[in-house]
Amino acid sequence: MMKVAVIGAGVMGSGIALCSIQAGYPTVLFDVHPAALEKGYAYIQAQLDVAVSKGKTTAEKAATALSLLSTTPDRNTLVADFIIEAVLEQLPIKRELFGFLETINTPDTIFATNTSSIPITQIAAALQHPQRVVGVHFFNPAHIMKLVEVIKGVATAPEIAQKAFDWSQSLGKTTVYAADAPGFIVNRVARHYYVESLKALEENTAPLESIDRLLESSGFKMGPFKLMDLIGVDTNFSVTSSMFQQFHYDAKFRPSRIQQQKVEAGHHGKKTKQGFYKYE
């Protein structure tokens, strides 16, 4: 059975790890912060308990899945067949991470990135074996959202992309190939859900609570401000900033000053107990 390593124990990384163990893969969850690992493990355990209570799985299956999960704060132990990162949306961090992992893993290890907007080609370019880097983009919350985008960089080997595609499908996901273009498919289309809502807030068109209620009443599962709080205001701002740059500063992708202030204030959403809303 293929061994999986998930790097980053935030909501996204924990959700990916949950998907992996539920599909029967031995999975190690890594984070440099032990407190984040504890929180991630507790999140996974809680989500399994919810699944049992709702009749979506049995207590026995949940226990079996949890037994496949391990955690570590030591990246020197991250040797696996399939490694996927869900760390900060910053190119230097991702490049350094994969550069290190390349030195301790075999040439057959697949390196997957859950990046929302950074080109796969840019991430892979700094590695000795760029052909084994592929984008595998989940959506939040990863264990619930069905769609996964698989993105091939210029150097990605076809067989690597196919293995990543097959792994995603084995998790029960609806998997699609996307071009290595800014924002791929979903973030390019969905970016304006956030950007236009923030513009409406900047222009005092309506309070953010009203914007959320209006869009939810129109059929969206979550309003844009609630969703940014769930994803992480900082993460969302980073993705928008990245896409703004990659589209050569096209005004329609301009990041919001309101969102930038939230990030600078440390109001990053649910994970910090305050974003556009406050959380107890």
Question: Which residues are part of the catalytic machinery?
Answer: 116, 137, 149, 187
Among 147, 136, 53, 132, which Cα is nearest to 98's? Answer: 132
One DSSP character per residue, 191-260 reads: HHHHHHHHHHHHTTSS-HHHHHHHHHHTT-SS-HHHHHHHH-HHHHHHHHHHHHHHTTT-GGGPPPHHHH
Among 158, 71, 164, which Cα is nearest to 110's? Answer: 164
Question: Count of CB atoms within 10 A of residue 52's CB?
Answer: 16
The Cα diameter of the chain in Å comes to 55
Total length of the chain: 280
Among 70, 117, 104, 249, which Cα is nearest to 135's? Answer: 117
Measured CA to CA, the distance from residue 18 to residue 108 in angstroms comes to: 24
Measured CA to CA, the distance from residue 58 to residue 151 in angstroms comes to: 34
From the centroid of its chain, how far is CA 201?
Answer: 26
**How far are the Cα atoms of 7, 38, 111, 198, 239 from residue 83, in angstroms, in the given order?**
8, 20, 5, 35, 22
Measured CA to CA, the distance from residue 149 to residue 175 in angstroms comes to: 6
Pairing type for strands 133-137 and 147-152 reads antiparallel
